[in-house]
């Protein structure tokens, strides 16, 4: 691989959601002169969210993209160097650590904060993407509130889908739950809760064909994959809960991960198995996955990096 340019820095932050930007704010205030590369989706998952009502400090709610612009402006004001670019390859066998941006520029950084996030898995329907943010969502905790007193549908069969269906059942009049097979993957206790909820209707052996609606979701068309029978169910919200994929592929030869690809951190810290490399936000959190918890872990990563650099005498 040809290297067209190389640059040596104290602290590199990869990713630009709440975790990355918060890490940049703290690292810049600590005079670490952080460089942040925004990645494939500047602003992260919040840029495909419309209204955010559960982030503290915004009493009237805020648009997801607007909130990420605020985060970025604050990081820049503190002195963070925010850049476009995607980390495409790393070499963590040496110090300073090597990270290639867009396959060409080489960054050598003593401390690296990984905040590359996770991406929701989608069914792959054109209508699902077209109506994303207009009734289609991959986060019931984020968006369920907007469907209070309405009928919604959810697709998924694991613990997350079960939890989200139960969460929605407390807000919505009816939750239609579509499961592709004749059984759920969720734990027994979660299955029991779903099956005993009076306003969750489970559809077994069910494929989702299309989300219906012009400007916003009005229904969903499903087919029973055993009988071939199709039906249309009128709903105003459609939730996809078939899992998330952490954006951690380029680190898999270096960092300890769980079976799903989430980077493992030492509990109570942002530290990975390699010193000087820290992970924050959804790339290491499959439990909470909220903007506020991601921001909190970004703060932890910057403080951990500052202390590590200080202990190494790197100024």
Q: What is the pLDDT of residue 211?
A: 98
3-state DSSP percent of the chain in helix, strand and coil, to 5? 30, 30, 40
Helices marked H in 212-290? none
> The domain containing residue 259 runs over which residues?
5-119+244-312
Q: What is the pLDDT of residue 141?
A: 84
Residue 221, domain CATH: 3.50.50.60
> Looking at the structure, do residues 19 and 112 belong to the same domain, yes or no?
yes
Q: What is the pLDDT of residue 3?
A: 46
d(CA 274, CA 142): 33
Q: Identify the DSSP state of 263.
A: B
Among 240, 273, 294, the domain-final residue is 240
From 284, 234, 295, 292, select the one nearest 56 (Cα to Cα): 292
> Looking at the structure, do residues 127 and 223 belong to the same domain, yes or no?
yes
Q: What is the pLDDT of residue 4?
A: 60
The number of domains in the chain is 2
> Looking at the structure, do residues 233 and 274 belong to the same domain, yes or no?
no
User: Can you give the pLDDT of all 315 residues of the chain as single tens digits?
Assistant: 444 679 999 999 999 999 999 999 999 999 999 999 999 888 888 887 778 888 999 999 999 899 999 999 999 999 999 999 999 999 999 999 999 999 999 999 999 999 999 998 999 999 999 999 999 999 898 899 999 999 999 999 998 899 999 999 999 999 999 999 999 999 999 999 999 999 999 999 999 999 999 999 999 999 999 999 999 999 999 999 998 899 999 999 999 999 999 999 999 999 999 999 999 999 999 988 899 999 999 999 999 999 999 999 987
Host H or E run for residue 6: strand 5-14
Q: What is the pLDDT of residue 48?
A: 72
Q: What is the pLDDT of residue 237?
A: 97
Do 264 and 258 contact (CB within 8 A), yes or no? Answer: yes
Q: Identify the DSSP state of 236.
A: S
What is 116-174 written as a DSSP string?
--EEE-----HHHHHTBTTTEES-HHHHGGGGTTSEEEEE--SHHHHHHHHHHHTTSSE
> Looking at the structure, do residues 92 and 142 belong to the same domain, yes or no?
no
**Catalytic annotation, residues:** 139, 142-143
């Amino acid at each position: 691989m040809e290297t067209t340019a190389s640059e040596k820095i104290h602290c590199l932050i990869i990713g630009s959601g709440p975790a990355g930007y918060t890490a940049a704010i703290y690292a810049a205030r600590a005079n670490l002169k952080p460089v942040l590369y925004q990645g494939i989706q500047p602003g992260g998952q919040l840029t495909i969210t419309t209204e955010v009502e559960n982030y503290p400090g915004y009493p009237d709610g805020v648009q997801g993209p607007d909130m990420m612009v605020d985060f970025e402006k604050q990081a820049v004001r503190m002195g963070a160097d925010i850049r476009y670019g995607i980390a495409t390859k790393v070499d963590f066998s040496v110090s300073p650590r090597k990270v290639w941006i867009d396959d060409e520029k080489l960054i050598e950084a003593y401390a690296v904060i990984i905040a590359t996030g996770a991406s929701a898995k989608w069914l792959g329907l054109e209508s699902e993407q077209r109506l994303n943010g207009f009734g289609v969502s991959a986060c019931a905790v984020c968006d369920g509130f907007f469907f209070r007193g309405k009928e919604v549908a959810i697709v998924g069969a694991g613990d997350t889908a079960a939890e989200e269906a139960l969460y929605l059942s407390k807000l919505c009049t009816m939750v239609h739950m579509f499961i592709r097979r004749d059984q759920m993957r969720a734990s027994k206790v979660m299955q029991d809760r779903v099956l005993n909820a009076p306003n969750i209707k489970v559809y077994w052996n069910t494929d989702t064909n299309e989300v219906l609606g012009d400007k916003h979701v009005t229904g969903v068309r499903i087919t029973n994959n055993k009988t071939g029978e199709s039906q249309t169910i009128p709903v105003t919200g459609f939730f996809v809960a078939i899992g998330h994929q952490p954006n951690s592929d380029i680190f898999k030869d270096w960092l300890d991960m769980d079976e799903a690809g989430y980077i493992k951190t030492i509990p109570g810290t942002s530290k990975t198995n390699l010193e000087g490399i820290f992970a924050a936000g959804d790339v290491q959190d499959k439990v909470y996955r909220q903007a506020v918890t991601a921001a909190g872990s970004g703060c932890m990563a910057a403080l951990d990096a500052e202390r590590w650099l200080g202990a190494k005498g790197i100024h």
